[in-house]
Amino acid sequence: MKRILFIALAASLFNVIFVTDLDCEHCKKKIMENVAFEKGVKDMSVDVASKTVNITFDAAKTDTLKLGNAIRHLGYKAEVVTFGPVESKKK
């Protein structure tokens, strides 16, 4: 039973918000152009005013550690402030 639950969770979409130390539009562009192409990233946005990076990702392909490391690799800090599953849209 645990194995099936893990597989079901791994196929789900999750959302994470990182707080960073970006401070300009160039920083935003650098993050968007690099992190958006990480494996498993489905959607993302970067807000310079709040210094946040919001990423929706497929947990079967990546995780918050890998995404945070991708941001850090670009020279920015990346601290998780919010993390959770994406709620499915009901018809």
Q: Per-residue pLDDT tens for 40-79?
A: 999 999 999 999 999 999 999 999 999 999 999 999 999 9
Mean pLDDT of 77-91: 84
| Strands of the sheet with 52-58, listed across from one edge | 41-47, 52-58, 13-19, 79-85
Least Cα distance to 18 among 31, 29, 9, 37 occurs for 31
Give the predicted TM-score (pTM) of the model.
Answer: 0.83
Assign 9 a pLDDT band (cuts: 50, 70, 90): low
CB contact at 8 A, 23 and 51 = yes
Residue 25 has pLDDT above 90, yes or no: yes
Alpha carbon distances (Å) from 35 to 7, 15, 21, 72, 76: 25, 14, 15, 10, 12
Assign 87 a pLDDT band (cuts: 50, 70, 90): confident
